[in-house]
Structure formats: structure tokens, C-alpha cells
Amino acid sequence: MGMDDPRVSPVIPRRAFLRAGAAGLGSIALQSLLAADDGATEAAGPRFAPKAKHIIFLHMLGGPSQVDLLDPKPALAKFEGKPMPDSILKGKQFAFVPKGAGALASPYKFTQYGESGAWFSELLPHLAKRADDLTVIRSMQTDEFNHGAGELFLHTGFGRLGRPTFGAWVSYGLGSLSDNLPTFVVLSTGANTAGNSAWGNGFLPSVHQGVKFRSGGEPVHFLANPGGVDTDRQKSVIEGVSAFNQLAFERYEDPEIATRIAQYEMAFRLQASVPELMQIENEPQHVLDAYGAKPGAAGYANLCLLGRRMVERGVRYVQIMMAGWDHHTGIYGPGGLPRSCRNMDRPTAALIDDLKQRGLLDNTLVIWTGEFGRTPMVQAVSPQGFTQEPGRDHHKDGFSAILAGGGVRPGLTYGATDEFGFEPAENPMHIHDLHATALHLLGIDHKKLTFKHQGRNFRLTDVHGRVVKEMLA
Amino acid sequence: MSNLSFRVALLAALPALLSLHGAKGDIDFTRDIRPILSEKCFRCHGPDEESRAGGLRLDEYATVLEERGGKKAIVPGSPAASELIARIKSDDPSRRMPLGGDRLGDRQIELLEEWVSAGAEYKRHWAYKKTEHPQPPPVSDIGWARNPIDRFILNKLSAAGLKPSAKAETAVLMRRLYLDLIGIPPLPEQIDDFLARPSDEAYLATVEELLESPQYGEHWARHWLDLARYADSNGYQHDDLREIWPYRDWVIQAFNDDMPFDQFTIEQLAGDLLPEPSLEQLVATGFNRNTPMNGSGGSKIDEVRNAMLVDRVNTTATVWLGITLGCAQCHTHKYDPFTIEEYYRFYAYFDQGVDETVLRGAGNTRKHYVGAQIEIPISPARQSQYAAVKAQHEFLKMVTNQAEFEAIADLPQWAERQLTNRDLPPLVMSALAKPKEERTESDNNAIRDAFLRTRSEVVERRKDLGRLSERMTTLAPTTTLIMADKPAPVRTYLLKRGQIGNHGKTVEPGVPATLHALGPGLPANRLGLAKWIVSPENPLMARVTVNRFWSEIFGRGIVASAEDFGRQGKAPTHPALLDWLAAEFAESGWSVKSIIRLIVTSSTYRQSSRGSAELQERDPDNTLLARGPRFRLSAEAIRDSLLAVSGLLSLKMGGPPVYPPQPEGLWKEISGVGDPNYPTSKEADRRRRGIYTILRRGAPYPGFTIFDAPPREACAAMRARTNSPLQALTLLNDPAYVEAAAALAKRVMDISAASDQDRLVYAFRRCVTRRPSEVELQELDRLLNEFRGTSENEAEAWISLARVLLNLDETITKS
């Protein structure tokens, strides 16, 4: 089992191992483990100067309604309560909307903001004020219109199980920036449909899978010492393990033993660094207030603040998932879309501000979107067949995203949908294109970041993807 | 015809060319040339007609000699006249091949030139050629070679100027043998006799004993269940549980019985189509039903069905043929000779299956995985218990309904008082806020439900009902999912670009033309397919299968890409050995045990796995096997081992999946609605072998995922072997292993009249089997005393020491 075997963790390059010899192996292994960008993992493709080093991917689970937030469609009023013409609906798939559904004009007021004049609805007052820091994409497209498959597509570029996620590819391609935190961390306010596969490693080595920090209980499985074991005791146990492993290494000269010694040391550091990371109560009150974060709560505001703390400490890829955007009903009701927006708007804006103030926004690409958008038509009947508060169904052909930082052009509104918001009228941007562009910002050619599996070189963008040059700053 | 005669003429000239070429070192088409053509050329000049450029295909000999525009791609014997060579060397980017790609490496160009000089001989891809039964080669050290495997290995080692390693230390070898055959290390008591009087006979006797142990089937079934993507849930949204564990038990039993592999194949693929199939033969067809199922209400039935059929096609092709047929689902395969039409002919075998999903739940929001099922008979005692609980349940249901009915009388009064209650769910509040006549049915239901939750007499009875239905579920007869076909043949279409509804021509069931032919008289159904697979004409099944056994034992297949024997896969390191094993497998009457026995009794297997700087440099991946295998155990084997060495492992076999303790709430994080409970097992069921642990695809047992157990979302021919800090955290802190450390400590402390040293040696041997060296013993002693110095009592010190031992690299590794 050698280092060029893709199934083996690439953590210790063989040359470092050979240099080390038997003596002092632990420390050398450790150094190379910590060596961040310097060969600690092999970059998969030729690289050019990256703009971004980190990604914070804000995934609004369920699919936010672009026509009520970012993409005003006044023309929908024409078909309010009347069936949309067949010429528009032809060939479209919807999960729950029946044939002949009428349009639903947005009840929310849209205004242009900032020098860029980007449109925001009244549901997003805080983000609107940062219009000139943001890039709005109004022509997003995906292939999938159900949550599970849609989540997979958003993160892996493929609607079925088995492919690596974006974060896993980034971990594989660029490696770690931190000596005591994982490369790819996932935070979530609630359950997502695709489960672990939304941050899975697919066919990449499992060392690249996202580490899901749980919101309740321990943030990482088995992080805490067992009951009755204090830090000193844990330390002597690990030192004891390493002493024997050192002897085993002398016996077998197996480089895997060297890696294991280093990983036990890393585990010990994680036990200290993760709890420290999670202690948002150490933030000054004005920072907590800006996000609306409350220590001990489990909401999105806390996760945004944690996202910044992670980036600050060297986590490369943070995936934050906020549940509650599947508005089949409740476009109007205070408990529906407005509430989701209220909980999302301020923390997200605070995150952008905070990153900017700390000089982190330049090298952190923030992506905000859903696995798809929502229909311009009304969904007036629940899946159970009852009349209900108006909502919107899943919509894959034209939805919106927001980008910020990391080398994207601020103030740009890219792409546009047709009169009714069904599909792009200009500059369509498929999720593959989003992946290709984001990888480009990280300094990776999406066509060269490949992994051979079952006889084929796979990549995140499959055989698709286009770097959208207009979007680069 | 002219090509053929040309070829004959060329062959006549070959000896001269070969001798010339021999001086430069042998060029082997399969090893040296095909990979270059495959990687650089086949994408546009390969089997796929649609993407083929200039009508030229380089994967077949026939067309490369044709003249195009006055030029020939290849003129055998003359690189200078061959357009292929001119184009790969060209400096003009608009002419240089591959177009738009990087220039070939100098060495690659040189190889192609040498190959054309030597006559540009093409060979049929090695994996599709019929298996010969090669003679083991002669070797210099015949004394070392215990069986033919050793002669193949030694022959290559000698050629590389290497010598085999010494035999492994006896205890280390015993440990290796136990782990490879039953997946659990030996305890000191089990091997003391052998260690006292080691002999070849005693070794062979141990091999037989372990092959006959029921734990053998449990260990070897695991790799098969990875291939069969066996799990206890549907996957995808909802990820509902399914009942199919009798299939898992069938696999264990089949390995224990050493069921001939051809029968093992036929029963899983098509047991239902055998004449008067037995219960076991039907259970075996669960293989096909292990496919994941997307149960989301919004997903389209035909898409869900298609995804399941595609999974069956791809799994069958990977497991028995080692071909990546899945690549031909949307377009003809770019590298291997499979067309999209052939894909859908293979697909047609599975398209005959009955429908397997049904929409259920309020408003059809959820798909259930149904299809054919069979009930496993239960004992009369359990039958009567079940009947009794069922009757109780029915009675209590009636009582509960009555209580609800009586309570409803108070509902209007209650509703009046709730108008100002802010603690109710928003849905209920908004329903109450409406005037009565405007309330919808769902409003009324919500109000009624909220009201009934306030009535203790209803709530209590509902709780009792819940308990009874749990009990009913455990007693109910087991059903298991099986395969069945529709009575009338189904018309199958080629799906253009793999898209549902994008119908191309209709296709009949059939197999790829490149592979061996369908025998006469085989039915056009799965049984015909299964019989085609096990046909003696099929060289792939035996090669692919023995390669996986080899890979399980040595950590790496003779073909390293165990899932891909195609042109993009890895060439075999020992092709003759692979064929010899394949032929032995067939001749043994497809006895799996006979192949495993051959491997573990070889001298190759018995070598020490100690490395050296030289070996590390010369052969870091140990492909030549100048030393024994050394690698980390599988996720299940790690847990089984740690429980075994601490004396906690339960060896109870079979039955419904068990639920060992895991961090709380994991199952609630999947779909958020209607997730099943995780009913943590009690007593010994917490400590059963890993193969019995419930596998919910969306949330598998974390201790296994962390050690690379696949979620069984798709067929997996190989597992990754990573080495991560999360693994360290698991072994250090998972309460299960803390419990194991305490048990080990107690066991060691309970030895009567023993010295510290006796106890330390015994504890060390339980974990890593061999005795500690002097240095290790000193270190053990030092640690124990260090722990004593910081512990409140003796037990605490020993528990810490046991934690160290359970965490050693050697404890979780086969050395």
C-alpha cells in the first residue's frame, strides 16, 4: 500500500518519510502534517494564483423563492389567479403544482440599492444595504427538482448518490490550512434530505469528507475525554500509544504507523481546539449583537459566526445549511417566508461585514443559494389535497444566488430570467458553471481536478462547466 | 480480407523484427501500448461511433491499416511512414495529437515508435481472453515453494533480483491467519499449544479448523455485502427501514457451507426463476433488491425505477465481470468495447421485474419499497405469542378510540379557552383564530389533535399502544424482499443519452458481443443471464472473483483495480498466477474455501511483513510480495477484535439487525420527519459482530464510517483505508471502547497469584498476540507505574493501560 495509491491518505509524502528514518519520526510526520500548503497533500492540477483560500457555502435548504427576494417579476400580476399559458409550462416538471395553476405575483416590494442598483425585496433589508459588496446571479439552473437529488446536485454536480462533494474535492485538491482543525466542516440548523451524502467524499478517500459539527451534543463524534479522564491522563495515554507505535515502526518500517502517530497527536489537539472554536461566548457583545447570535442557541446566526471563526482559524471549506426554505405554503404568512428571511438576512449580512472588517473577505468566497428556486406559479393546494395558504413549488430552471468576496466582481448582477421568471433569458449559469468558477477562484482548473474511479477520470463538473469570466474581479 | 492476408505476411516477418526488438527490451501491447492509446487516443478514436473523429479507430487492428487521404495511421515496421507517429510528434498544434491536449511524453512516443517498428501487433484485451491453465514456472529455490502460488511469486522476485522474506514470527502468523479466516484475533489460550509445538501439520490443521468455524462465514460475507450493497434502509430522502436481513444470513450460511460459486451466483441473480425454488433460493434473490430507492413523494416513478435498474445492471457487471458497463448508459463506452445498445440489452434482463414502489402516506407524499416479498416461517411458540400481543393491541386500540370519543365532548369548551394561549403550535393558533365555519378539515384535525394531547387518559393509552406495537413488530413473522418478474414480457427501449422517455429502438435481452456468446437454449431472462455468467466460456467471473479474495488477504489485488478489468483498469502484476488461480477455482468445482486455503497455506502468505529501507524503496506497494501483507483491519474487524480481546464479544449468529449504542440523535438528523427511533439494543446484543449492526444508509454507525465502511449506496469492490484523527478519537473516547478497556483491565487483574509482569505480558498478548520484546515490557512497566502514580486506585491504572493497548497500531492492524 503506497502513497500513490489514491485510497491512502496522502497526509505524509513518502519523501518526508524517507528523510525521517526511524528516529524522530513522530515529529517529522507531524511537521509535514502541519505543512499546510507545502506538499502536505498533493494538489491535483496545475494551479494558478488563487484569489480565494476559503469557501463559506450557505445552503438554504428547501429552495428560497427568488421571485420574492432577488428577481422581481411584476408581469406575474397579469396571470394572478389565471392559468399560466401552456406555451410557458410546456415540458416542465413540477413536484406538486397541478396543471393549470395560476401565477403568484410577489406581495413584496422591490427596490434598487447601492451604486450598483441591484434589486432586493423588502424581506432582505440588511443584505440590500451591502448591495455593492455582493454579486447577484439571477440565472441559476440545476438538473434536479427534488430535495434529495437537488442537494446532491448542488454539492456534487450529480443527482444521484456516490460522487464527492465540492468540499471534498477542495480538500483533495488543496489540502489543509490548519494544524488543528479539519479542512472541511459542515454546520446545519436542521435535517437535510440527502443526509451525509451532501458532504460525503464519494469515491475520494474518506479523509476528505466533511466533518459535520453537530448542533446538539458534541460537535465532533467522540471529541470529549471519557468520563473521569482528565487532560493529563488523556495526554499520557496518547504518549503511551505513540511510544509503542514508535517501536512498532522500528519493527515494521511501515509508513502508515508514522501517519498514525501524527494523527493521534492531531486528535489530541482537536480535543482542545474544537471546544475553543465553539465558544462564541468569548466574542465581544457587539459582535454577537451584529449577528444576533446567542451562546447556547442553535440558530443560523450562531452558525454564521462560527463560520467566520472557522475561516479565521484555517478551516478551508465551511458548509452551512439553514433549514426551512421549502415554502410550498406561507409565502405571505409571518411564520413562512418572512420569518425565514428575518432569521437569515441579518446574520448573513453580519458575516459579510465581519469578514470584510477582518480582511478575510478578499480570500473567502461566500456563496448563498438553494438546491433550486421556486415556481412563479402558485401552489394553492397542499400535497395532502387541502386548500392552503399560497406557496410555491420547486423550480429548477431559473433561480438566484448571491456571491461575495474571494475575487468575484462586487456589485454585479449577472444573468436574467424571462418575463415570468421561468428560465434564463440571458447568461444562464448552471450549477456546473458555479462550481467551475468557484474552483477557478481557488486557483484550480476544474478540468484538471480529477480522480480516477471505475475506469474513468471523474471531476466535480463531470463533462460540463464554464468559468464565468465576467464574474471575476 | 486484404488486411488479413497482410497480417499473415507480417506475422511471417515477425521473428526477425522480434529479435531486433528484443534487444531494446520487450514491448508488451497490453502493458505498454494499450494504456497510452486508451488514455490519449480512444476518446476520439475508440469504440464510440458518435465521438469518433475522421472515421479512425485505434482500438481495433482492422481499420488502422486503411488508407485515408493517401496516408495510413500505421504502417507496421515503419514509424516514419505512419501518420500516427507523425501526428503525435508534430510541432504544429493544429495537427498534433491529441488535439488540444498535452504532447505525449518522450518515453510514450518512443514506446509507440518501437511498437510500430516491431510490427504494431494488437492483442485482444487480456481480461477477455480465455483462461489458460498455465504451468507454474520453474524456480531456483524449490524448497521455499510450498505450492504453485509460490513458484509464480518467486519467479518474479528472482527476475527483480529480490528474495522472499523470512517466515513470520509464529504468533504473528497465527494472528494473521485468524484475522484473515474469521476476522477475530486468537486469544493466548487458543494458540498456546501451537506455539509450544509449531509444525506444518499443526498449521494446516488450524487452517482447517478456522475454515470450518461459523465465524468464517461472518467474516467473508462482509466483503460480499459491500459488493451486494446490502443495507437495512432505502437510502435517499426519508431513508425508511426495509426488512431484508435474511439475505445477509443467507450469504453467511453460503460462505460457511462453501456453496459452489456458480450456484451462489445463479441463486442470487435468478433463484426465483429456478424450477420450484426453495425458500433459501428465493431469499438469495434479495441480492437484486438491495438497490437503494428514492422514496421522496415528488420523484417520478419511472425515474426511480430506472435508477434501480441501472444500479442492478452496473452492480452485476462489476461483481461478476469486472467491466464498467455503466459507462455505456448514456453513450457508447469511450474505452471498452460496449455500445449503448448493448447496455440496454443487458438492462432488458432486469426490466422484466415487477413494480417495486407504491405511493402511500397522506397525500401520497412518500414512496414505499414493496415488490415481491416472502415470509420466513416462525416457531409455533412465537406464533402464539404474536397472536396474543396482536389481540391485546386490537383491544387497546378500541379502548383508546372510545376514550378519544368521550373526551371530544369537552373540545368546544376547551377551544374557547385557548384563544389567548400562545404556547400552541402556530398551525393550531391560526386554525383557532378562524371562525368555525371557515375552518378547513386540516384546521379541525389540528385542533382536535392539540386538544387530545391535553387529556391524560388518551395520552397514556396511546403510549401503551406504542409499546404494544413495538412488541408486535419484534414478534411479527419476518418478511424479506425477493425478486420476481412480470408474467408477460416487457418491451425495453434503448434510452438515448440515458434519458427517461427519450426512446430509441426496442431491444431484446442480450449480452455484449465482445464477451463470450450466449449458449444455445438459454432463456431470455435473468436465469439465462446467470447461466451465461457462470459458463465455462466466461473467463471474467473466475478472474475477477479470485482477484478479490487475493485482495482481501494481501490488501491489493493481482489486478489493483478490482472493480475494473477493462482497458482503463490496471494490468495484472502476475497475469499467469491470476489465470492459474482462476483455473484452479473452476476445477475445484468453484470452491471458495479451496482458493482461500491455497493462498493461506502458501509460503508467500507466511512471510514476515517486516519491511526494510531497501524494500520500501524498491517496492513500496509490495506488488512483488517480497514480504507478507500488513494493513489496517476493516471497520467491522476493528470493533470485533477490540470486543473479542476484552472478552465482551457475543458470538450469537444471525437474526434481525442489532443497535449498538451510538451518539444520541443521529437518526433524527436524516429527514427530520418520521425518522424511526434508534432502539439501542440491550445486553449481549450491544456486543454482537459488526456484520449484524443495523445499516441505515443515511446515518450508518459512525464508528464504522470513520474507518471507511461504505454506506452501501452502490456496489463497492474495494474499501479505502484511511488514517485520520477522527479514528484516533473513536478508539480513544467511544464509550464502547472505554467499556472494553475496563473489561480487559478487570480480566487481567483477576488473574490469581500473578506478578505485574505476568499480567502485562498477558494483556499485551490478548491485544497483539505476540509477546512483548524486552524494551516493550520495560515500557509497559514504566507506563503502569506512571498511571499508578496518578490514579486513585489500582483499577484506574490498569484501565488506562488497557486503553493504551486497545489503541496500538498493531492492535488494529494485521501484521
Q: Give the nearest partner residue to A207 out of B298, B699, B722, using CB atoms.
A: B722
Q: Out of A162, A226, A259, whose CB is closest to B713?
A: A162
- Res A23: pLDDT: 29
Q: Are B207 and B181 in contact (CB under 8 A)?
A: yes
CA B323-B325-B330 angle, to 5 degrees, is: 155
Does the beta carbon of B664 lie under 8 angstroms from any beta carbon of chain A? Answer: yes
* Å between A363 CA and nearest CA of chain B: 27
Rounded to an integer, the average pLDDT of B153-170 is: 95
Q: Is the pLDDT of residue B567 over 60?
A: yes
SS3 A224: coil
What separation in angstroms does the CA of B133 have from each of B30, B539, B582? 20, 11, 8
Please give the backbone phi and psi of residue B720, each rounded to the nearest 5 degrees, phi first: -70, 160
Is the pLDDT assigned to residue B7 strictly greater than 70? no
Best of A196, A247, A453 to substitute, by most chain B Cβ atoms within 10 angstroms, is A196
The answer to whether the CB atoms of B631 and A162 lie below 8 A apart is: no
Provide the pLDDT confidence category of residue A382 given band limits of 50, 70 and 90: low
Q: CA dist B528 to A260, B266, B484, Å?
A: 49, 9, 15
Residue A455's pLDDT is: 62
Nearest CA in chain A to B560: A5
Between chains, do A205 and B722 touch, taking CB under 8 Å as contact?
yes
B478 strand-pairing partners: B376
Lowest mean pLDDT among A74-78, A454-458, B389-393, B766-770: A454-458
Which residues, 6+ apart, have CB-to-CB distance to A93 below 8 Å? Answer: A145, A396, B300
CA dihedral (B371, B376, B380, B385) in degrees, to 10, reads -60
Helix, strand, coil distribution of chain B in percent, nearest 5: 55, 5, 40
Distances (CA, A) of B736 to B65, B707, B742: 67, 15, 10
For residue B723, give the nearest of A160, A260, A388 by CB distance. A260
For the cut 80, the answer to whether the pLDDT of residue A454 exceeds it is: no
A468, pLDDT greater than 70? yes
How confident is the model at residue B721, as a pLDDT?
A: 83
Residue A95 with chain B: CB contacts under 8 Å: 297-298
- Measured between beta carbons, which residues in chain A are less than 8 angstroms from residue B622? 1
Q: How far apart are CA A309 and CA A303, in angstroms?
A: 10
Which phi and psi (to 5°) does residue A390 adopt?
-60, 140
Query: What pLDDT was estimated at residue B9?
Result: 39
Bigger pLDDT: B807 vs B663: B807
Instruction: Return the closest-CA partner of residue B723 out of A24, A166, A8.
Output: A8
What Rg value do the Cα atoms of chain A yield, rounded? Answer: 24
**Could you say which residues from 601 to 630 on chain B have a Cβ atom under 8 Å away from some Cβ of chain A?**
609-613, 616-617, 620-622, 630
Residues of chain A in contact with residue B740, where contact means CB-CB under 8 angstroms, are: none
B809 → closest Cβ in A147, A220, A248: A248
Chain A hits for B239, Cβ within 8 Å: 195
Question: Which residues, including other chains, have CB under 8 Å from residue B176's CB and lie 6 or more apart?
Answer: B168, B605, B628, B629, B814, B815
Evaluate whether A76 touches A421 at the Cβ level (below 8 Å): yes
- Put simply, the answer to whether A146 touches B299 (Cβ < 8 Å) is yes
Inter-chain touch A217–B665, beta carbons under 8 Å: yes
Query: Which cell numbers in the block locate residue A153?
Result: 446536485
The answer on pLDDT for B388 being more than 60 is yes
Contact (CB<8Å) B733/A225: yes
Q: What's chain B's average pLDDT? A: 90
Q: Copy the grid coordinates of residue A348.
A: 448573513
From chain A, the residues in CB contact with B801 under 8 A are 240
Cβ contact A195–B697 (<8 Å): yes
ipTM of this complex: 0.82
Residue B724 is nearest to which of A149, A207, A383, comparing CB atoms? A207
Strand ranges (E), B213-310: none
Is the pLDDT assigned to residue A123 strictly greater than 60?
A: yes
Q: Is the pLDDT of residue B752 over 60?
A: yes
Average pLDDT, integer, range A87-111: 79
Measure A301 CA to nearest chain B CA, in Å.
20
Q: Which of residues 365-384 of B touch A (CB under 8 A)?
A: 365
Per-residue pLDDT of A137-166, as tens digits, reads 999 999 988 888 899 999 999 988 779 999
Rounded to an integer, what distance in angstroms lies between the CA atom of residue B270 and that of residue A395?
A: 41
Residues across chain B = 815
CA distance, residue B9 to nearest chain A CA (Å): 36
- Contact between chains at B787 and A243 (C-beta distance less than 8 A): no
d(CA B169, CA B163): 18
Q: Which amino acid is at B139?
A: V
Which amino acid, residue B686?
Answer: R
In 3D space, the residue among A154, A156, A184, A153 whose CA is nearest the CA of residue A170 turns out to be A184
Cα separation, B465 vs B450, whole angstroms: 19
CB A175 within 8 A of CB A41: yes
What per-residue confidence (pLDDT) applies to A29? 29
- Could you tell me which of A3, A31, A26 has the C-alpha nearest to residue A250? A26
Over residues B143-153, the mean pLDDT reads 95
C-alpha cell at A183: 479542512
pLDDT band at A318 (very low <50, low <70, confident <90, very high): very high
Look at residue A194 and tell me whether its pLDDT is greater than 60: yes
Q: Which of A96, A161, A455 sits opposite B569 (nearest CB)?
A: A455
Give me the pLDDT at residue A208, please: 84
Reply yes or no on whether the pLDDT at B600 is more than 60: yes
Residue B322: the pLDDT is 95
Task: Please check whether residue B27 is in contact with residue B111, taking contact to mean a CB–CB distance below 8 angstroms.
Answer: yes
Which chain A residue shows the shortest CA-CA distance from B235? A194
Percentage of residues in chain A with pLDDT exceeding 90? 61
Residue A86 has pLDDT above 90, yes or no: no
Running DSSP on this structure, what letter comes out for residue A95? Answer: S
What separation in angstroms does the CA of A17 have from each of A27, A261, A262, B201, B601? 11, 13, 12, 41, 33
Preferred mutation among B556, B809, B811, B815 to probe A, highest tally of A CBs within 10 A: B809
pLDDT the model gives residue B612: 82
CB contact under 8 A, A255 and B327: no
Least confident of B4-8, B273-277, B755-759: B4-8
Span A401-424, average pLDDT: 95
Average pLDDT over residues B690-699: 95
Question: Structure pTM?
Answer: 0.77
Element spanning B471, H or E: helix B456-475
Average pLDDT of chain A is 85
Strands A184-188 and A379-381: unpaired
Residue of chain B minimizing CA distance to A243: B779
For residue B48, give the nearest of A204, A463, A143 by alpha carbon.
Answer: A463
pLDDT score for A161: 75
* A-to-B residue pairs, Cβ atoms closer than 8 angstroms: 257
Q: How far apart are CA B468 and CA B400, in angstroms?
A: 13
Reported confidence tier of residue B149, pLDDT bands at 50, 70, 90: very high
pLDDT given for residue B670 in this prediction: 66
Strands (DSSP E) contained in A226-363 are 317-322
pLDDT at B71: 86
* Chain A residue whose CA is closest to B712: A162
Give the closest of B730, B775, B804 to A237, CB-based. B804
DSSP state of A447: T
Grouping H, G, I as helix, E, B as strand and the rest as coil, residue B627 is: coil
Q: How far is CA B199 from CA B170, B243, B449, in A?
A: 10, 47, 75
Can you give the pLDDT at residue B20? Answer: 35
* Mean pLDDT across B525-537: 97
Beta carbons of B721 and A1 less than 8 Å apart:
yes
Q: What is the mean pLDDT of residues B26-32?
A: 74
Return the pLDDT at B72: 87
First to last CA, chain B: 58
Report the pLDDT averaged over residues A37-45. 36
| Residue spans of beta strands (DSSP E) within A241-393 | 317-322, 364-370, 373-374, 379-381, 387-391
Of chain A, the percentage scoring pLDDT greater than 70 comes to 85
List, for residues B608-637, the tens digit of each pLDDT value: 999 887 887 788 889 999 999 999 999 999
Task: Identify the top-confidence range among A456-465, B321-330, B792-801.
Answer: B792-801
Pairing of strands B492-495, B503-507: antiparallel
The pLDDT-based confidence of B782 (bands split at 50, 70, 90) is: very high
Three-state SS annotation for B524-563:
CCHHHHHHHHCCCCCHHHHHHHHHHHHHHHHCCCCCCCCC
Looking at residue A216, its pLDDT comes to 62
The per-residue DSSP string of B764-799 comes to HHHHHSSPPPHHHHHHHHHHHHHHHHH-SSHHHHHH
Say whether pLDDT at A452 is over 90: no
Cα separation values, A388 from B427, B445, B564, Å = 11, 14, 53
- When scoring B500, B627, B669 by the number of chain A Cβ atoms within 10 A, the one with the most, hence best to mutate, is B669
The CB density around residue B418, as the number of other CB atoms within 10 Å, is 17
Residue recorded with cell 459539527: A213
CA distance A268 to B733: 11
Angle, nearest 10°, between helix axes B170-181 and B188-196?
A: 130
- A456: chain B residues, CB-CB within 8 Å: 324, 327, 568
Distances (CA, A) of B712 to B483, B669, B724: 19, 19, 21
- Predicted pLDDT at B24: 43
B564 touches chain A (CB under 8 A): yes
Phi/psi-derived region of residue B753, left when phi > 0, alpha when psi is between -120 and 50, beta in every other case: left
Residue A337: per-residue pLDDT? 95
Instruction: Please classify residue B197 by burial: count the beta carbons closer than 10 Å to its beta carbon, then call 0-12 exposed, 13-18 middle and 19+ buried.
Output: exposed
Q: Confidence band (pLDDT; 50, 70, 90) for B63?
A: confident
B810 DSSP 8-state letter: G
User: Would an 8 Å CB–CB cutoff place B732 in contact with chain A?
Assistant: yes
Whether residue A221 and residue B730 make contact (CB cut-off 8 A), yes or no, is yes
Q: Do the Cβ atoms of A80 and A102 come closer than 8 Å?
A: yes
Contacts with B61 (C-beta within 8 Å, 6 or more apart), sequence order? B3, B7, B122
pLDDT value, residue B19: 34
Among A193-202, A347-356, B493-502, the range of highest mean pLDDT = A347-356
User: Which set of grid coordinates corresponds to residue B223?
Assistant: 466483503
User: Which residues sit opposite B207 in a β-bridge?
Assistant: none
Dist. CA B802–CA B188, nearest whole Å:
16
